[in-house]
Amino acid sequence: MAEGTRTIEIDGRRYAWRTVGQGPPLILVNGYAGSGEDWDPTFLGALAEHLEVICPDNRGMGGSELGEEELTIAAMAEDVEALMDAIEIEAAAVCGWSMGGYVVQRLAESSPYRVSALALIGTHPGGSTYVPTGDAEAFEKLIDCSGTPREQASRLISVLFPPEQAGAIDAEFGEVVAEARAKLDHRALDEQKAALLAWRDREPPAIATPPPALVLHGRLDRLVSAGNAVPLGERWNAKVDVFEESAHAAMAQEPLRAAAAIVAVASP
């Protein structure tokens, strides 16, 4: 594992995370197929100027073992809470992108006293207010593991960024993404896919007292419609900021803007 990665044991399996920066804690949870090492460095660096950013690897990703239990959004939220227990953080700001947004929402629903602030990027609430994109091709590209890791990387980049930017990003970072793709556990990816689909169909519980909250979304998002930003904001009584020129990876396209908004809601 990379330098700076730490681990604990949860129910007999290894769970890994890394930290950067100093200040109040922010737990930053990545999306489908992502690990704690995969965040945009400019975005992460801007957060770390103000916060201690704790970046876990969801089970089955990076240094975290998948284990034998069913992988669900609730289970991944329980892992985050177990990590908080292990490093003696009673409450923290939490931020999730895409599937990571499901995880931190679930944590805020099940253990609201552990969440001092909530930031959600490119995600949705699930249930009857979920707004589909109407672009099934984008989701199929996201979960398509066929071809070489380099081909997978190009497909992934094509759905995370707008077309006019995707080519340049692929040329600069495609090999790095391909290297990460080559290490992925396909069984974990299959279970993450099932968890994604189950979240769409869930019935969200009522929220009594939401924490200070923020919703960020790219207007050009092909994977999670920007139409979800308003109902998500209403659910969490959150400030909503839509990035007009960004797609699904809004925090990588406008990293300083995204980080500043998150720091504002996460700082005491």
Q: Is residue 178 part of a domain?
A: no
Q: Is residue 16 part of a domain?
A: yes
Q: The domain containing residue 88 runs over which residues?
A: 5-132+202-266
Q: Is residue 167 part of a domain?
A: no
β-partners of residue 94 are 27, 118
Q: Is residue 192 part of a domain?
A: no
pLDDT of residue 5: 84
State which H helix or E strand residue 243 sits in. strand 239-243
CATH number of the domain bearing residue 20 = 3.40.50.1820
Q: How many domains does the chain have?
A: 1
Q: Among candidates 175, 188, 144, which has minimal Cα distance to 30? A: 188
Q: How confident is the model at residue 3 (pLDDT cuts 50, 70, 90)?
A: very low
Using an 8 Å Cβ cutoff, are 266 and 24 in contact?
A: yes
Task: Give percent of the chain above pLDDT 90.
Answer: 97
Q: Is residue 191 part of a domain?
A: no
Q: Among candidates 24, 18, 254, 249, which has minimal Cα distance to 121? A: 249
Per-residue pLDDT of 73-112, as tens digits, reads 999 999 999 999 999 999 999 999 999 999 999 999 999 9
Averaged pLDDT, 185-193: 96
Strand, coil or helix: what is 3?
Answer: coil
Q: Is residue 144 part of a domain?
A: no
Q: Is residue 158 part of a domain?
A: no
**Is the pLDDT score of 47 beyond 60?**
yes
The residue behind tokens 């380099």 is 150
Q: Is residue 103 part of a domain?
A: yes
